[in-house]
Amino acid sequence: MVKKLFKHEILAYLRVWLPTQAVLLGIALLGRVIQLFETDTTVYSIVSGSSTITYSIAIVVSIGLTFIFGIVRFYKNLFTNEGYLSFTLPVTPSQHIIVKALTALLFQVATALIAILSLTIITAGEMLTELTKAAVYLLNILKQVVGNHLYLYLAEIIIALNILVLTAFLFYYTCISIGQLFKKNRVLAAVGVYFGFYLAEQIIGTIFIIIITVFRDKLPIEQIMNAIEAHPRAAAHIIICGIMLIALIGAAIYFIVVKTIIKNRLNLE
């Protein structure tokens, strides 16, 4: 049943995602083709400049739209009249949530990969070779600084990014779900919840900074700094893994909240 949920979730994304990616790749291709007509004229500068701007906007739009779709899809498929179909399928709330969150992540990653592809298209040829050389050079420098741990770090960073994106989606799902607890204006309520979280975050962050500043002397800040200087590689691993762990815990909490709301407090209009 989960396989079928994934299948239909992916189908729902593809019909919006494929055209946008095609447009992005088209703009990249166009941008590359324009470069073939390079001349020293102002006309060319304007055209190529516009093309570059358009391309930059297109990448941002592509990534942004995919993210927004991941959130809107959750709301539309579960909490509008489509919900009458979704929640009468022989599928548990957990399965719904997991499939939606993972598919949202999947497409976000795919969008990033297509963005990289579009970059290779628009810089194809000499520019791409230069870019690749620069990238390899950068990697080698990093390898010298970090040693063989480089690939481990890269893997950790990629995993951490994935977890952060997943947690972000689950966070928005939580805002939407809490909004569903209200009788009217549920979407507005969800937005309110979002700002509520944002506010809470700011307050907690400020309190945290105040505590650190006030108790500066009592806290082992110097020791921590020395330890990081002494063992930079270990410190980096710990920090990245720490972030991963916190994000995972957040994801778990959000998941439980959404699941509980759907299981016990669902009330479709």
Q: Does 2 contact other proteins by CB under 8 A?
A: no
Q: Does 257 contact other proteins by CB under 8 A?
A: no
Tokens of 3: 């396989």
- Say if CB 123 and CB 131 are below 8 A apart: yes
Tokens of 253: 């909490």
Say how far apart CA 251 and CA 198 lie, in whole Å. 17
- Say if CB 186 and CB 267 are below 8 A apart: no
> Nearer to other proteins by C-beta: 8 or 237?
8
| Binding test (CB under 8 A) with other proteins, winner from 84, 137, 151, 215 | 84
> Nearer to other proteins by C-beta: 77 or 111?
77
Q: Does 222 contact other proteins by CB under 8 A?
A: no
Number of H helices, E strands in the chain: 9, 0
* Segment interacting with other proteins, rule: CB under 8 A, options 83-91, 150-158, 170-178, 216-224: 83-91
Q: Does 81 contact other proteins by CB under 8 A?
A: yes
Q: Does 77 contact other proteins by CB under 8 A?
A: yes
Say how far apart CA 126 and CA 224 lie, in whole Å. 47
Tell me how far, at minimum, the Cβ of 258 lies from other proteins, in Å. 16
> Nearer to other proteins by C-beta: 85 or 159?
85
* Segment interacting with other proteins, rule: CB under 8 A, options 36-44, 87-95, 133-141, 205-213: 87-95
- Say if CB 78 and CB 267 are below 8 A apart: no
> Nearer to other proteins by C-beta: 184 or 218?
184
| Binding test (CB under 8 A) with other proteins, winner from 18, 60, 68, 89 | 89
What are the b/e assignments for 93-115, b being 16+ CB within 10 Å? beebbbbbbebbbbbbeebbebb
Residues 6 or more apart whose CB falls under 8 angstroms from that of 169 comprise 70, 71, 74, 100, 101, 104, 105
> Nearer to other proteins by C-beta: 165 or 258?
258
CA atoms within 13 A on the CB side of 27: 21
Say how far apart CA 32 and CA 54 lie, in whole Å. 13
Q: Does 6 contact other proteins by CB under 8 A?
A: no
- How many chain residues bind other proteins (CB under 8 A)? 23
Say how far apart CA 223 and CA 105 lie, in whole Å. 38
Q: Does 82 contact other proteins by CB under 8 A?
A: yes
Q: Does 68 contact other proteins by CB under 8 A?
A: no
Say how far apart CA 182 and CA 199 lie, in whole Å. 20
| Binding test (CB under 8 A) with other proteins, winner from 39, 43, 90, 184 | 90
| Binding test (CB under 8 A) with other proteins, winner from 36, 42, 43, 88 | 88
Tell me how far, at minimum, the Cβ of 68 lies from other proteins, in Å. 17
Report the interface residues with other proteins, using CB under 8 A.
1, 4, 7-8, 12, 15, 76-77, 81-82, 84-85, 87-92, 263-264, 266-268
